[in-house]
Structure 1
Amino acid sequence: MDDTASVMSAVSTGNKFPQGEPHDEWTIEELLHWSLHQYQLKTHAQADHYIEQLRDHCSRECQDITTLHQMAVEMASRTNNENAASSLTTTGKSPRKSKSDHIEIRITSGPHSDSKVLLRPKPNAPCFIGRSKGKKFINNGISLSKDQEVSTTHAKIVVEMSAGSLSDAAFYFVDVGSTNGSTLKGEMLEPEVKVKIVEGMEIKVGGSTLKFILG
């Protein structure tokens, strides 16, 4: 038992075995050191995997909480708008139609043609567009992975609210400094400059054309 504890202590402070795979010339002590070291590496790898899983789980939970909070804010705002609309109707004035908190993008040309994506950008949480297959592009963004003319992170869609209400949201397209740039009606857009999105607007990124439909 004391010998095993000694070997465990040695493994934790340094490798006491030859390089490479075990062979017949290794001593029993060297083989024990090697075996315990392999076990230690495997344990660390499993721990890292579990930690990453926990981080992903926490991230998803935080996103859900943020979404629920935004929904609660929007519901409260919608109730206020409906009350205001009812009041205006009684005075003979037409209530103002509220805007939506989402935007639909239809891809009309390029390798991903005939596909569409529904995005819900949040304040301080834009939706990214690019060739990447990362989570932020897949979950609430646009991954144009087959379009080799698109930069890894090409552009983003941001939202700005009036009086803190998602029902009065305005959406903007921003090229983040892509290699091939983005064009609107044949004109190259300036990097890091917000372009307000209007119904039916078409912007070309790389070899793909994105048509924006406001909800």
Structure 2
Amino acid sequence: MIIDQFIEEEQFYHYYQPIFDLKRQKQLGYEALLRSRVYPNPEFAFQAAKRASLLYELDTKSIKKAIATYQDANVKKAELLLFINVLPSTLVDPRFYSFITDLFNKSSIQAHQLVLEVSESETFDESLDFVTYIHRLRELGIWIALDDVGTGYANFNMIIEIEPDFIKLDRLFSSQLNQSKQKQSLIYFFQNYCQTNQIQLILEGLETKNELTYAKELGVLHAQGYYLGRPALLQEC
């Protein structure tokens, strides 16, 4: 199937992985994750879209469908946050602001329920006023998260300039956390930084009880990972 047809026919769906508030022992929200039988690895779909200059089309169709699926879920999920990945190139596209405001006009989801995770799957053009685009979206009430911090292209300058509402630490920090003093020290550093700057830290990739225990001891308040809940269709969550 060519990527044009894949996007037009929306040959994809979403799994939703729970994110938890560890202190309050309750769910904070869900992260929407694109899935497809055509592209078992979602990255291949975005690579194909990039080659066809259709990244914006795929990204916005995915966001729209993720929100539509979420708002059709049961009432118990209504007040939870919805985390959705978005590419930097989508955020700075002149069409995106109108796209997102139109979505709010046509759906029941409120801006304060939506968290846009700035994805690390592509570089962004630093010549563009990326921060201005972020601030416009934040003025609508949308939350902003930096995804996969600690890998890829994210750096401290980006954290300082964007002033995200959430920082999501990459799963590399969680893996065998109970056995690594270096990882524990880095998480403790990020935890202190986030507390000082009113940023909410989310540790991704927790897969064992020991990793969760050490995360709590380090003061991590929010987390996600297979140990807490695997990605699944909403009706299965």
Q: Same fold (TM over 0.5)?
A: no
Normalised by the length of structure 2, the TM-score is 0.23
Larger radius of gyration: 1
Higher helix share: 2
